[in-house]
Structure 1
């Protein structure tokens, strides 16, 4: 089996894949088109499955040291009434860890620091993946040609590698929602670690960080391309009557810190995550809506599973076949569940349907709610060493 790989994309999934491949003895080059890794992004919640993947990659302890456990909080109405309480201690007892909140930039830095600088080819655009001979693949990168035994396409929801490999496959589609998010400029007086609030066609949530700051997000049911001249003022208007600490979170935020993206998804599942010597990973393979908080966790699962399969199987082809067989059913099932969660949560707008949903949530025993969460969190990674 060969042992050289090119990873296209330097996001969370791509960096994790590079770390995993290096841990099994491969030489890896990460090709990232942006010239400055500014660690853009807001916050992220890491569930047990993502944290276990990070443990196998050797940086789980560092992540836990900088993250904040989500022990308190839950789901509320705009008036502040509780629909469901979070029991982080029960979740920790069941899977060994609570969900943990961390700035996305911190996670990205920890992943990047686990790789040697020479493994990162920054500011370089990767071209189509070509077959150079039966046992290798070739990637052209701004005039540089890289031959490798494996190419990992981790270039996001708009993956050019995926489009080249599956030219007839439907493109990602708009989910019907748009999301605005930011990290507060200063600490905010919060009484919970994590909250979601569901209104009619709208959601507001926050993740508390170690330093007292918080990430917040607002998800709105709006057409693709909708933008606001002053996003922060628009959110202040839309959420002015919602419960505390929502107004305080907005007040603690700089206007220029607000990020605004349409929520798109790869709604039509791919028939395979591998073609020849190329493996698709993360959003390039299974971009999903954020309603379960599993996007990054699934990419981390991909990275560890890919490395383990290549370490175990006798050939690259066999390793990729195993990766596809193990990852495609699970990740596509999680994507379907995330879409359904959005339909029953933020996307729900009919007043009667909202009342029925809220009543059902209030009547659901906490033990049952925990078991529902465990369907996605209780994943055991393969060992890399």
Structure 2
């Protein structure tokens, strides 16, 4: 394994090759550290379909060097019932727009598109494919950690970042059995090309008694299109429909347009991804010794408000920022940096993920009489808008205003 640019005190080993790992690598490289990503598969590739990225995540990607022109466009987010009655609209914050130099709040993107743009920013030689991290050993007398791979190889690093997904080997060794469980929801993620007549810069998150059905404009390889998704209740072992297109068309048959049109314009062989959501309980500690876990390797996972990819990208940025200038052989300095990171991220991430998980329960697990009352309240009172501003936007906006190094004014 090549060891050039692998200087003690600067060596960052990252398990996993997804967005959390690549964001971490980009952030550490910018700060002068030597980074190796170890991915178990033959190539780094994203899983999943469309997601939403908000302003702070876009500002981080811009900071890494990503051009914003072909990422997407600002979108007004409307929360509605299935008949098109608006329940709430996610407000823009003019102060954040001005300071970040980015309009709006949420942007629709395909995971594959934005992840490829991230990969393109990495210098050659950072990624070692076919290297699955299976375990590690901290070596206190040498101020380092030995990382071992399934292929029999090993590497010595100063710190190890576990970004190897929900079934992380690093996280399991560091914190024990995560006791993963089915989160009770299934997501159908899809996208299609642009359809004339559908308003631009406008996205809808809508619900009926059982389902969430939503759509957002996006760019795919520089061309306009739409991402759309359906969330339904699920459980371990729930049968998969033989004909997903007919199954989803039946769900959307009484839904207001344009969702039925989007389904008709979608190639179900290449543009639809089914995701059974597996979860873990919230952790209060993400590090131990020279090991830090981030992204799906440690976070409670919920797609309900499309947080996961953005949270993973943020984790990498904030972790490198917390260790900026630190000699990574200095265990006291490393632990102090880890503490700074955890104070910034753990409570914030857990709050957002738990709110998303709570939302999934409210919309998909309530019995019929309670669900009917829920819908009446959301249709005719400001409760939903108040919850979004208090439990989703408030903390995210506070974090964004504190990221002063990314402000343009």
TM-score, structure 1 normalization: 0.89
Match of 2:64 in 1: 57
Residues 293-339 of structure 1, C-alpha deviations (whole Å, 9 max, x = no match): 22222222211211111115562222122222322121112222111
Where do residues 294-313 of structure 1 align in structure 2 (5 Å cutoff)?
294-311=307-324
Where do residues 14-25 of structure 1 align in structure 2 (5 Å cutoff)?
14-25=21-32
Structure 1 residues 150 and 361: alpha-carbon distance in aligned structure 2, compared to 1, 3 A threshold: farther
| 1:153 and 2:162 aligned | yes
Structure 1 residues 376 and 252: alpha-carbon distance in aligned structure 2, compared to 1, 3 A threshold: farther
Match of 1:222 in 2: 234
Q: How many residues get paired? A: 379
Shift of the alpha carbon at 1:70?
Answer: 0.8
SS at match of 2:170: helix
- The equivalent position to 1:78 in structure 2, one of 70, 78, 82, is 82
| 1:103 and 2:110 aligned | yes
- The equivalent position to 1:26 in structure 2, one of 17, 27, 33, is 33
- How much is the aligned-residue C-alpha RMSD, in angstroms? 2.6
Match of 1:138 in 2: 146
- Unaligned ranges ≥5, structure 2: 1-7, 328-332
Shift of the alpha carbon at 1:78?
Answer: 1.8
- The equivalent position to 1:262 in structure 2, one of 262, 272, 276, is 276
- The equivalent position to 1:325 in structure 2, one of 326, 331, 343, is 343
CA contact (8 A) 1:42 1:182 kept: yes
TM-score, structure 2 normalization: 0.84
Structure 1 residues 56 and 349: alpha-carbon distance in aligned structure 2, compared to 1, 3 A threshold: farther
Match of 2:377 in 1: 359
Match of 1:201 in 2: 210
Partners of 1:53 and 1:332 in 2: CA distance: 21
- Unaligned ranges ≥5, structure 1: none
- The equivalent position to 1:9 in structure 2, one of 13, 16, 20, is 16
- Of 343-352 and 199-208, deviating more is 343-352
Where do residues 158-173 of structure 1 align in structure 2 (5 Å cutoff)?
158-167=167-176, 169-173=177-181
| 1:191 and 2:199 aligned | yes
SS at match of 1:260: strand
- The equivalent position to 1:375 in structure 2, one of 394, 398, 404, is 394
Partners of 1:53 and 1:151 in 2: CA distance: 22
Shift of the alpha carbon at 1:349?
Answer: 5.0
- The equivalent position to 2:135 in structure 1, one of 105, 122, 128, is 128
